[in-house]
Amino acid sequence: MKVFSEKHKRNIGLAYLGRRATQTNRWLGMDAGYGAKHAWISKYQGKPEHCSMCGIKGEDVGKTRKIWNIQWANISGDYHREVSDYRPLCVQCHTKYDLKLHCKKGHPYTEENTYTVGKRRACRACQRDYTKRYQNKKNHREAN
């Protein structure tokens, strides 16, 4: 089972915040979250030329400033200073890859936070939040 480090959880949060905005902003948001830690690998390895998942070619997609559409994604979440801990992913694949690691709200899909409804994977933290909100509403209603 994969245990998420605090660092990675923070990054997941940042990635999630970034994702709520538009496509370009979303990318910028991710960039802000991932940028610093990925700086060394970019320096070391340069811009990734192809996405390792879908194979599309890298290009500048930014309108106001240059944004390379393929980034080095960290695999372990620990940001080891090793080339083997990174893989090049395009925006779309990076988002997909991220969603495999956590729910839409950014809760990590760890073993203890995950349960299945039919064939779908569901997040316990979200379920808890939902129940709490429901209870609050109910309490509120009953209090009045």
**DSSP H or E segment with residue 12:** helix 6-19
List, as one string, the DSSP characters of 52-106: TTT-PBP-B--SSS--BSEEEEESSSS--S-GGGEEEEEHHHHHHHHHHHB-TT-
Site membership for Zn ion, residue 126 (CB under 5 A): yes
68 — phi, psi (to 5°)?
-75, 135
Q: Which residues, 92 to 111, sit near Zn ion by CB under 5 A?
A: 93, 103, 105, 107
Stretch that binds Zn ion, among 3-11, 58-66, 79-87, 119-127 (CB under 5 A): 119-127
Q: How far is the CB of 40 from Zn ion (least distance, A)?
A: 22
**DSSP H or E segment with residue 123:** strand 120-123
Q: Which residues, 30 to 69, sit near Zn ion by CB under 5 A?
A: 51, 53-54
Site membership for Zn ion, residue 15 (CB under 5 A): no
Q: How far is the CB of 142 from Zn ion (least distance, A)?
A: 27
Site membership for Zn ion, residue 90 (CB under 5 A): yes
Q: Which residues of this protein are in contact with Zn ion, per CB under 5 A?
A: 51, 53-54, 90, 93, 103, 105, 107, 123, 125-126
